[in-house]
């Protein structure tokens, strides 16, 4: 069984999913991207993360195609653009996403980043969508600690997750954001867990991966999966990498390996600005 994290609502969210950032941007790559998503679902990935921003909605269309005809649906995450995140705009954007995904409900619906609309309006819309059964849970993305504290004033204790840039080579959230979220049982979704492939070129990562007997990508993902309250969503359009990433679930990291990774990729010793890609 796939491990999961519990959201403040009590719902369970899988710890590993398929990312779709930059899918849907090229008609030439569409068939390859669709095949990768279908293959990942066949392997057993229980979650897909997408957004109305990705390919201007085309990524959601591809996800809808990948889900078509499947009896068992994965956990689906999508996001609303900040400029659509007014009270009425959020509801309209969600309806468009549901149509592209061909789903009656989105499991987790996020504000993609803060900007434009007042978050009071966005969260009011989230509550309305939840009450209407259009979404099961809601959350945010690219929120630093002060943003999360603002959201906590109006979320009625139901802010389900915060999706941020987090990996072995970008550990800033560990200083204050991640501890704050853990105290409130709000899972952190780590996007770009391989740092856009840059992490895989690190000699230190390959050295430790050889010791463990896995690939560098599997080690980087296994490290995230070993963190309490952390979920990750690697994206790939190649079948080999989709399968390789899924193998991270079988990698167990001994305490001495975790200490070696801390030496190679030190945790932050002070507050760092939240990074975005």
DSSP 44-78: T--EEE--TTGGGGHHHHHHHHHHTT-SSPPEEEE
pLDDT at 254: 97
Residue 277 in any domain: the answer is no
Main-chain dihedrals φ then ψ at residue 72, nearest 5 degrees: -90, 115
pLDDT at 144: 97
Q: Which two tokens stand for residue 209?
A: 């991966």
pLDDT at 248: 97
Number of structural domains (the chain) is: 1
The list of the chain residues with pLDDT below 70 reads 1
The CB density around residue 237, as the number of other CB atoms within 10 Å, is 17
pLDDT at 277: 85
Q: Are the beta carbons of 55 and 26 closer than 8 angstroms?
A: no
pLDDT at 235: 95
79 contacts: CB under 8 Å, gap ≥ 6: 50, 51, 52, 53, 109, 110, 111, 112, 141, 163
Residue 91 in any domain: the answer is yes
pLDDT at 116: 79
173 contacts: CB under 8 Å, gap ≥ 6: 164, 166, 188, 274
Residue 276 in any domain: the answer is no
pLDDT at 16: 98
DSSP 179: H
Name the packing angle between helices 145-152 and 119-131 (round to 10°): 60
Residue 270 in any domain: the answer is no
The domain in which residue 223 lies consists of 4-264
Residue 27 in any domain: the answer is yes
pLDDT at 106: 98
Q: Which residues pair with 79 in a beta bridge?
A: 110
Residues marked as catalytic: 54
Residue 215 in any domain: the answer is yes
- For every residue of 72-117, which 3-state class applies, written as one string? CCCEEEEEECHHHCCHHHHHHHHHHHHHHHCCCCEEEEEECCCCCC
pLDDT at 71: 92
Residue 269 in any domain: the answer is no
Rounded to 5°, the CA angle 161-102-83 comes to 50
Q: What share of the chain is helix, strand, coil (3-state, %, to 5)?
A: 45, 15, 35
Name the packing angle between helices 255-264 and 216-225 (round to 10°): 110
pLDDT at 236: 93
CATH of the domain at 197: 3.20.20.100
Residue 275 in any domain: the answer is no
């Amino acid at each position: 069984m796939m491990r999961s994290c519990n959201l403040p609502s009590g719902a369970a969210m899988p710890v590993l999913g398929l990312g779709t950032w930059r899918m849907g941007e090229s008609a030439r790559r569409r068939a390859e991207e669709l095949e990768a998503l279908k293959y990942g679902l066949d392997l057993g990935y229980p979650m897909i993360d997408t957004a109305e921003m990705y390919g201007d909605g085309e990524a959601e269309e591809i996800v809808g195609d990948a889900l078509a005809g499947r009896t068992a649906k994965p956990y689906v995450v999508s996001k609303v653009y900040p400029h659509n995140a007014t009270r009425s705009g959020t509801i309209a954007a969600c309806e468009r996403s549901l149509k592209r995904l061909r789903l009656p409900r989105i499991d987790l619906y996020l504000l993609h980043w803060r900007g434009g609309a007042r978050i009071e309006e966005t969260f009011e819309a989230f509550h309305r969508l939840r009450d209407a059964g259009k979404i099961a849970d809601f959350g945010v993305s690219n929120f630093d600690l002060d943003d999360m504290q603002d959201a906590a004033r109006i979320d009625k204790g139901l802010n389900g997750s915060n999706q941020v840039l987090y990996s072995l080579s970008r550990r800033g959230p560990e200083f204050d954001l991640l501890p704050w979220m853990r105290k409130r049982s709000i899972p952190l979704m780590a996007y770009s867990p391989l740092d856009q492939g840059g992490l895989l070129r690190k000699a230190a990562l390959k050295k430790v991966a050889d010791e463990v007997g896995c690939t560098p990508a599997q080690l980087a993902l296994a490290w995230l999966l070993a963190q309490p309250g952390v979920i990750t969503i690697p994206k790939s359009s190649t079948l080999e990498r989709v399968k390789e990433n899924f193998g991270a679930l079988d990698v167990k990291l001994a305490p001495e390996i975790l200490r070696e990774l801390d030496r190679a990729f030190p945790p932050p010793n002070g507050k760092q600005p939240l990074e975005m890609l």
